[in-house]
Amino acid sequence: MSDLSLLAEFDSFEVSDKYKEERDAKFYKWIKILVGALAAIFVIELAIYKLVNPSLNVPKVIFTGNKNYTNDTLSEAISDLYNQNFFAFDTEGAASKISALSGIESVNIEKVFPDKIKVSVVERESVAMIFLNQEGHTVPIQIDKNGVLFTNINSEIVDDGSVPIVSGIPVEHLTSGMRIPAKYRVLIDQIAKIQSLPQKYFAAVSEICVVPKTYGNYELMLIPVNSRIKVLTGRSLNEEALQYMMVVLDVVNTIEPNVTEIDLRYDSVSYRTAVNKGVGGENLD
């Protein structure tokens, strides 16, 4: 083979190799452009997802933990905040407004990106109930375990024997977050402990009356259900005292059917009748 033919073949191979390199370069260039375009679209969509949507749209508020309060009631409490976007939503302001509802014990608000506001509430549970006069109407007011007064939003009286009516506590009006006087909180604590028992002792008690004593102390007078008898006790209200009261009621009713008042103070039992206003006594210990 001549030198000219070898040179021609070499030149042809060199041109073919250059063409292939240029073709591959163009291919990789378009691949880079495509990848870059996809990356740009992803960045734009991510920016819209993370910044634009939360900034423009009103977040969805989700309530949990509420039993007595409906979602609509809680929403109404923070209705003036619904025009705020996710980033601007005032969680502290919302918590303050919901906490102002007398039946709410605590509130926790959490922002869940990109468009949710989770509101978790803990409602107050009624331990006892009193009646107050408001605007000429007698309304039931609930007392929780901490002595905080609150209204039942359904205005219903619990009649399953778990929540006793308490009278005689000096409360004339109701304000948000108001608590009963400190010296009566011991009574509320005693009632709460009895409620934690499996037996519903308060189903047998129509009313717990607080009777003031000299020098600021007080005693209790219990009124049994379906009975005209009043039972005087000291300040100690517990399971044993209620069991003792029930036993005494059965015994005294057997002995004297006209009893109107039983006194369980001073470690003895005395009673008063309606007929002769006399007083009898018997030690049941």
62-101 pLDDT tens trace:
999 999 899 999 999 999 988 888 778 899 999 999 999 9
Same domain for 105 and 238? no
Q: How many domains does the chain have?
A: 3
The boundaries of the domain holding residue 45 are 1-56
Same domain for 277 and 158? yes
pLDDT of residue 123: 94
Strand 137-143 with 149-150, pairing: antiparallel
CATH assignment at residue 95: 3.10.20.310
Same domain for 152 and 271? yes
Q: Where are the alpha helices (DSSP H) in the chain?
A: 3-47, 53-56, 71-77, 91-99, 185-195, 239-255
CA angle 70, 73, 75 (to 5 degrees): 110
Same domain for 173 and 221? yes
- Per the prediction, the chain carries an average pLDDT of 81
What are the Cα distances from residue 87, in Å, to 45, 50, 99, 117, 119?
A: 18, 11, 22, 11, 16
Question: What is the spatial distance between Cα 252 and Cα 264, in angstroms, rounded to a whole number?
Answer: 12
- Report the sign of the C-alpha dihedral through residues 161, 163, 167, 172, in that order: negative
Same domain for 146 and 30? no
What are the Cα distances from residue 239, in Å, to 10, 127, 190, 192, 194?
A: 111, 16, 9, 11, 6
Same domain for 136 and 157? yes
Q: Which of 92, 123, 154 is the endpoint of a domain?
A: 123
pLDDT tens for 117-136 read 999 999 999 999 999 888 78
Same domain for 105 and 204? no
Same domain for 65 and 37? no
Same domain for 50 and 105? no
Q: How many other CB atoms are found less than 10 A from the CB of residue 9?
A: 11
pTM beyond cutoff 0.85: no
pLDDT of residue 274: 73
- The encoded tokens of residue 73 equal 């009631």
Same domain for 118 and 132? no
Same domain for 37 and 73? no
